[in-house]
Structure 1
């Protein structure tokens, strides 16, 4: 038998992995009570992680008639899958299609783009097939220029979309108000791909669909050790063990260095933060002039992302908080409130009773990963969606199921040996100069 040689270690303070970080989250957790693993058992395929990736993999495997068990440290959807902004759209990487095209060529880039479109369609299909009411809205997404010079970049992006037969539309600054997009912006690009949803309702529906299909889900069952055996894997939890022939790792930003050793340094968690207002009145919406239901984000490096929810609350999110602590959370809450007031001045004094944070995950090569866990046989991982995992994580979960079933071994662009961050043990420290540099490049919000 061979286990992990490295002591498991998480790179953030305990606060990041506590209930306190999501205490004010407005999205519902699943109302089903899945039991903890409290005995020794076996399964064909064990999945570590009960977010979009793990639940999608479990659903597709169960539908194929395979015995599959999900081990979730908390409860399904507790992590970023149940506390994100609800943007089901193109994404998953931090390179962009133009950079990917230069690096990998036209054929691979088209295949990757088609995978992203398929990912959006997969979520839509799952919502329809399993009758999941996830409060969907929005005809694609809109990127808003935070500076007049950013419109040049948006015009270039419009040309990139045209190469993929997507009719993206530039909106000049003087046309924003007529589209219900009034704020301190300098124009926009509307990309008609994707939709918004309630991530809590979606992940809860996905978990219930996987259960109905025959998957077994154990909540409150953190895996503390993985042992390789001649016939497969033994996963050890505080109250029980599970023996599996095959293994899928789906922890993303909530992964642990040393569990297994291969994980160390191959992901970099980053906190993303969301502020939500109280319900806005019709007069308050009219006063600001933001009445659109489009998913939106701005052109900053440390971008803001936002949307008007169906219940007329306004969701406003951003990244950039490195301290995983109650004081760090308070400081980021204050920063987000200032940014909200700067971009939407009519809402400067609107109450914001909800704020929470979660961990997204970055890859050393800025691409998502779906593929083998090093040289381990019959073991795969899916992760690193760069804060845009609603669609991509769901799709990767389905592809990991294909890999486990022997149906697929290669994916466009983003299946390759996954590199490690240099000096992996201190990689979190990279975020401090990066965040500072991005803030200097972005400049302050308008005043």
Structure 2
């Protein structure tokens, strides 16, 4: 069974690596397209209006907004499903395995945000971009780490993956707190009705995942023009989908939706988001712009703040006795992973679009995210190449456990049953 367990994990890891390559390719295509005489066609695709009408309800937005607010709702649904599964039955369900990555993730958000505010805090317009350097892209960071193959201890992979999950949870809280909007009575009533419906669907063991999705679409439509970012609808659905059932059976809605959604998010939604958000005109950008606000704060937060925050908070957790390093992990390797934590990309680009939604300087922020992520990837790779052991220990597997890589652990024909959550 363990062998099958690792085969599943390997397939999922390979899927994420190919997805990372597609995302990088989409960035390259967007940059190339935006810096050739074909730029007007990129703008045409970018701003093409798309409308949906149903009865008296009508919604028209540019294509880029449909991607950032519509498709990304499914991205956050996938993130919420992974966080819930990991906390309830995955690697993070054991308390002793939570504290080190949790403290590291906290430091990886507090320190870069503080560094950003030290640089940009005097400018009210730029200061709202402090969440941008707090993000870690789990797919790209794990993809870079996987390039070292069997040299990487499995505990180090688990540390980075768990760190990125807590980082995503922090990003979600930032979005909820800063972009939750001001509810009108009508929107408040609709939101409460949707949440109550999701709660009772969960409590009464309703297993039809389509019902949860329909409620999520209903909430997404209600959030339009309300001040609440529509992607929060995906988070609500992810939190409500049941993971365990009272009755016997192999169908678990959370597992079913996560498996079905993962390829779409990996190979379609994230690359498309990257394509629509990285078409930067390089002729309008100079290196000196990285040395001024807010770009300097973003790059410094990702390249300097992230590793310092992750490493220092993990070290403090260890020294205080709250957490311990794995037997095959050294502090030099932790610092290498902390450097990779500065690969922000997907979530950082999304937070940049939220912080600078109009013409403030979203393009400068996007370039800063790209450069900061690239520098973090290069510096982290060089550091790990120097400090990783020449060969992995014999008792270490070269694959992550299946539940950590996006696949719940399964036995032949059965799934653990328990209370609905």
Asked which structure has the greater RCO (Cα within 8 Å, sep 6+), the reply is 2
The TM-score bracket by the shorter chain reads: under 0.3
User: What's the TM-score once normalised by structure 2's chain length?
Assistant: 0.27
Larger strand percent: 1
Larger helix percent: 2
